[in-house]
Amino acid sequence: MQASISSSPFGQLPDGRAATLYTLTNQHGMQVCISDLGGVITSILAPDRSGQLGDVCLGFDDATAYMGESHYFGALIGRYGNRIAQGQFELDGKRYQLDVNNGINHLHGGREGFHRQLWQAEAASSADTATLTLRYRSPDGEQGYPGNLDVTVRYELGGDNALRIAFHAVTDQATPVNLTNHAYFNLAGQGDILGHELTIPADAYTPVDAGLIPTGELRPVQGTAFDFRAPHAIGARIGASDQQLQHGSGYDHNFALNRQQDGALELAARVREPVSGRVLEVWTQEPGVQFYSGNFLSDAVRGKGRVYDLRSGFCLEPQHFPDAPNQPQFASTILRPDAVYRTQMEYRFTTDAAAGAAGA
């Protein structure tokens, strides 16, 4: 069996344009479905320890459902992943006002961010790789951002059961850029994610205020519910008496990764589901990863014949730090016309029987 990619209709946008769903399949039968609407990953069929495929990604059935939801299921996020305080920042002496869509703050690129755009798609496959390349021009002023931003995102499913995502962007004016993917995972395929065992190699995280904007501090995880340097069940300490957990109604925080080399592809998180034996590793070139424990899901959220109840999925979003345009102590997220934005991330799927080889 060779890797392949196929396409099928995925419904219409409100303006009548047609969305398409692409199915990437590798030589082992693993499948990833991605739409040109928002680059959303709608499903991932990954094997458990006995080789049985199961859908480990939360998602919906068609374009209409994605246009109507507000949880960013599986989506490409841009221009800026996570929050910008009050939707404002100053750049080169000029103040910009972005769309405000999360209380008083700007979240994930705004109401009409990249997750709601129809991207130009190009499909290709070889013997061992299926690839979907998406392109989009974000025009000057979109959601309040300056400059025309040309973005290319490449999804690549390999024979090693890894989904690689490569981001590339150029601009004609200085602008903040912080791209990521917002897939929700449940490695058991159903139920809650509280028994999933999580590891994040981070000595510190960025605490937040009540609006989930970082305070600017890097706080040590030692002795707190945020210490995932050794594996812990997601639910083991989620109810701890900690104001940070109360702010997020659970985990919704950026972890400052223990980077070994700037720009290198390194482990950001590892999750093991003990019943199925499935293991997910997230690798990134970014300095941080946002861990979100599905705190705002509810039984009103439904898709693919499933109910996405409270904490039925988790997200691990590689990123630069939230609100960096307003916090000079954080690494800069400003892209200028003489530079190129490039970053890569990977979702690597294995099982616990082969987990020792996962990071080799």
- Catalytic amino acids? 182, 317
Percentages (nearest 5) of helix, strand, coil residues in the chain: 10, 40, 50
8 Å CB contact between 286 and 319: yes
- Kindly report whether the peptide bond that precedes residue 154 is cis, defined as omega within 30 degrees of 0: no
Of residues 40, 119, 107, the one with CA closest to residue 79: 107
Go through 108-144 and write b for each residue having 16 or more CB atoms within 10 A of its CB, e for each that does not: bbbeebbbbbbbebebebeeebbbbbbebebeeebbb
Sign, Cα dihedral of 69, 74, 78, 82: positive
In the chain the first and final C-alpha atoms are separated, in Å, by: 26
